[in-house]
Amino acid sequence: QVQLVESGGGLVQAGDSLRLSCAASGRTPSKYVWYWGWFRQAPGKEREFVATISWSGSNTNYADSVKGRFTISGDNAKNTVYLQMNSLKPEDTAVYYCAARPGALESNNYRVYNYWGQGTQVTVSS
């Protein structure tokens, strides 16, 4: 089993920045090929894709709504994935979840991710 723990959420104003972290423990992900993702869910809405990154870090993918503002990165030595969020907007307000799945194929479908963190709240005021 893999345990994921997110941190870094908070209340900020529009235009501010936040960096979310997702620390993995348990079965050592660095020894396997994994795909990591960040997803978010606003009240009353379905969970949606934000960004994904391959185990090697060489492949990233972003939702159009965050492209150019958010950056996903990873540190395999620390088993940690980050989401740097700049120029935040009120519509970015949501609970942000880190997810992981074994394999080398990218997917922005949250349903195929096996492991999830508990989520961290990001609130952006206007």
Q: How confident is the model over 27-60, as pLDDT tens digits?
A: 765 656 789 999 999 999 999 999 999 988 889 9
The Cα 110–Cα 121 span in angstroms is: 18
Return the structure tokens found at 63. 């939702």
Quick: pLDDT tens for 4-19: 999 999 999 999 999 9
One-letter identity of residue 31 = K
Query: Mean per-residue pLDDT for 113-125?
Result: 96
pLDDT of residue 28: 61
- Give 98's pLDDT tier (boundaries 50, 70, 90): very high
Burial class (CB in 10 A: 0-12, 13-18, 19+), 16: middle
